[in-house]
């Protein structure tokens, strides 16, 4: 019989992931950042360096949004793009006591994690209603839970950092992963399949309309020819073809290569997820979703999104649907941009529903 004082059969803690060098470089190796509740001090150091810890997301312009939306106790607030829950946490707190937050997100991978974090904050269970869905159909949820409409609506468009950084999601060119790019991996077709269905004219249009790519025609031809000869399966396959295209041009440096790759990935991601279609649907439904005097704020991250929001708000003001809108786009402060470089492209616009139409 083994001596309990010397028995080594007791369960030992798992070894940390092995990685080259002093610090982990790959997403899956960053075990401390991926467990912020356990390694709070290490995560704080990452934040202080101006980086976003792996597996997390830093909400942008939180105080500006709270000032614009002015959520009050007892009101109904809506977060159309829950993500990591940074904005939702503040909205939920602001409408207490007696208020409710309705929140949606299409991502089946991240949504359960975010709901668990928000539920753990201790707010009344009935004050938080979360549903997995695309915000393109948000009116169904709002009008079923709040028939008179919402007091506050927030839509933070684009990707969350935890989606962007995870190679398995296929959004990043910085690490090898499947060429997928779906916000909801259970729905639709991955980017690799979409590329096989596009002709050069269609793809060039996507590059121009979705990412303002200045060499859309030439780039579309090069990418589709390479894809036909050797079908892309990974993000690296696509990124290498784009990089080779840029390197052959005069007066192009590493930054030009990165920017071109980013635009190609952005254009494909928007097409894969029909992001403009979802935004257009949301903007059409928006007036019916707001109470008289209700406030809406929308964060955008590229010109295609911002143009749509700006036009919808201006048309609504002209038609008497909105009583006021942002006169100018609101951007993150220089301090926030330094602390969180990913906020630098953000644009914030708001509108207030008219009391009487």
pLDDT digits (tens, 9 = 90+) for 67-109: 999 999 999 999 999 999 999 999 999 999 999 999 999 999 9
In DSSP notation, 113-152 reads HHHHHHHTT---GGGEEEEES-GGGHHHHHHHH-TT-EEE
pLDDT score for 29: 44
In the chain, the percentage of residues whose pLDDT exceeds 70 is 84
- Residue 156: pLDDT band (50, 70, 90) is very high
* Interval 252-276 mean pLDDT: 95
Q: What is the pLDDT of residues 190-219, one digit of tens each?
A: 999 999 999 999 999 999 999 999 999 999
Cβ–Cβ < 8 Å for 200, 221 = yes
Cβ–Cβ < 8 Å for 245, 221 = no
- Residue 27: pLDDT band (50, 70, 90) is low
Which helix (H) or strand (E) is 311 found in, with range? helix 303-318
- Is residue 260's pLDDT more than 60? yes
For 318-356, b/e burial (b = at least 16 CB within 10 A) is: eeebbbebbeeebbbeeebbebbebbebbbbbbbbbbee
pLDDT score for 52: 58
Q: Tell me which residue has tokens 């708001």.
A: 350
- Is residue 38's pLDDT more than 90? no
Q: What is the pLDDT of residues 40-58, one digit of tens each?
A: 555 455 555 555 555 566 8
* Interval 271-286 mean pLDDT: 97
* CA torsion, ordered 215, 216, 218, 224, to nearest 10 deg: 140
Q: Tell me the range of 107-111, 282-286, 353-357 where mean pLDDT is highest.
A: 282-286
Q: Tell me which residue has tokens 């809506």.
A: 78
Q: How many helices and strands in the chain, by DSSP H and E?
A: 14, 7
Under the phi-then-psi rule, with left for phi > 0, alpha for psi from -120 to 50, and beta for the rest, what region is 12? beta
Q: What is the pLDDT of residues 171-181, one digit of tens each?
A: 999 889 999 99
Structural domains of the chain, ranges and CATH numbers in brackets: 62-161+276-353 (3.40.50.150), 186-272 (1.10.150)
Global pTM? 0.84
């Amino acid at each position: 019989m083994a001596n309990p004082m010397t028995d080594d059969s007791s369960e030992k803690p798992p070894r940390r992931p092995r990685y080259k060098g002093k610090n982990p470089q790959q997403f899956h190796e960053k075990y401390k950042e991926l467990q912020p509740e356990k390694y709070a001090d290490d995560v704080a150091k990452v934040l202080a360096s101006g980086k976003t810890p792996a597996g997390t997301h830093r909400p942008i312009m939180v105080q500006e949004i709270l000032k614009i939306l002015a959520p009050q106790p007892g009101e109904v607030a809506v977060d159309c793009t829950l993500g990591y829950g940074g904005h939702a946490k503040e909205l939920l707190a602001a409408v207490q006591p007696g208020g409710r937050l309705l929140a949606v997100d299409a991502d089946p991978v991240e949504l359960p994690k975010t709901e668990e974090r928000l539920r753990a904050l201790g707010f009344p269970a009935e004050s938080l209603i979360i549903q997995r869905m695309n915000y393109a159909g948000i009116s169904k949820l709002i009008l079923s839970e709040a028939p008179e409409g919402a007091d506050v609506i927030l839509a933070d468009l684009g990707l969350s950092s935890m989606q962007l950084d995870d190679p398995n999601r296929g959004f990043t060119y910085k690490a090898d992963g499947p060429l997928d790019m779906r916000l909801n991996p259970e729905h639709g077709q991955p980017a690799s399949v979409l590329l096989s269905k596009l002709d050069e004219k269609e793809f060039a249009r996507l590059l121009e309309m979705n990412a303002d790519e200045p060499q859309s025609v030439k780039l579309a031809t090069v990418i589709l020819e390479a894809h036909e000869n050797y079908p892309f399966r990974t993000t690296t396959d696509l990124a290498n073809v784009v990089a080779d295209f840029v390197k052959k041009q005069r007066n192009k440096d590493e930054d030009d290569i990165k920017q071109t790759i980013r635009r190609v990935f952005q254009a494909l991601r928007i097409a894969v997820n029909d992001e403009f279609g979802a935004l257009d649907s949301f903007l059409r439904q928006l007036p019916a979703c707001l109470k008289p005097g209700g406030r809406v704020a929308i964060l955008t991250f590229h010109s295609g999104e911002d143009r749509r929001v700006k036009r919808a708000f201006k048309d609504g003001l002209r038609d008497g649907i909105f009583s006021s809108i942002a006169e100018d786009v609101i951007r993150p402060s220089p301090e926030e941009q330094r602390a969180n470089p990913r906020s630098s492209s953000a644009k914030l616009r708001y509108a207030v529903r008219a009391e009487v139409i």
